[in-house]
Amino acid sequence: MLVDTSIAHDFLSFYIAVLTEINDGVQPQGTQEYVQCRDFLYPDSVSIANCKSISNDFKDALDKAVFGRFIYLKKYKNCYAFKHFDTNQYFDALGLTSPTEEMVEEFSVIETALVPYHEIIICDGLIVKKNVLLGPNMMKDCRDGYHQARKSGNLIREM
């Protein structure tokens, strides 16, 4: 499930501006360079405080973003399901421009960022595979945990 094209365009223009700022004003070339710049963004999002090429709303979104290791569970009807590796929180998110299921297998460990934008959560699309797939028991635990989070109201759909 992907975000509306106009939202994706706005998000990407701001995100590229931020990552370019982090890269000393030079636009990163290729996914690997974008990932390297993103690695500097989230531990210290204060570094974009003076970035004039993005809105304050986008700066706030980056401050609320969750970055790190996730388990990509699977695609559901209206979203992609993720479990944050460190906090065990479950998230519903939308893809940016490419379907997540085309980039990574279900129930695999990845590194990415989930960013709240326009009252939805967007996966930033910079997915780094950790080459770890879960076994059947852990997959079942994740599915059960996701459904429990949904039933209990603990599923995060907006931040």
Tokens of 2: 């992907």
Predicted confidence (pLDDT) at residue 32 exceeds the cutoff of 80: yes
Closest among 54, 95, 147 to 110, alpha carbons compared? 95
Length of the chain: 159
CA separation for the pair 149, 35 (Å, rounded): 30
Q: Summarize pLDDT for 149-158 with one digit per residue, the tens.
A: 999 999 999 9
How would you class 70 by CB atoms within 10 Å of its CB: exposed for 0-12, middle for 13-18, buried for 19 or more?
Answer: buried
Which of 15-19, 73-77, 131-135 bottoms out in mean pLDDT, i.e. has the lowest?
131-135
Query: Tell me, what's the pLDDT at 46?
Result: 55
Average per-residue pLDDT in the chain? Answer: 92
Average pLDDT over residues 56-70: 92
CA distances from 25 to 16, 42, 60, 138 (A): 11, 18, 21, 43
Q: Summarize pLDDT for 88-143 with one digit per residue, the tens.
A: 999 999 999 999 999 999 999 999 999 999 999 999 999 999 988 899 999 999 99
Predicted confidence (pLDDT) at residue 44 exceeds the cutoff of 70: no
End-to-end CA distance of the chain: 19
pLDDT band per the 50, 70, 90 thresholds, residue 33: very high
- Name 67's bridge partners: 113
pLDDT exceeding 70 applies to what percent of the chain?
Answer: 95
Q: What is the pTM of this model?
A: 0.94
Q: Where are the alpha helices (DSSP H) in the chain?
A: 5-22, 30-41, 56-64, 100-103, 136-152
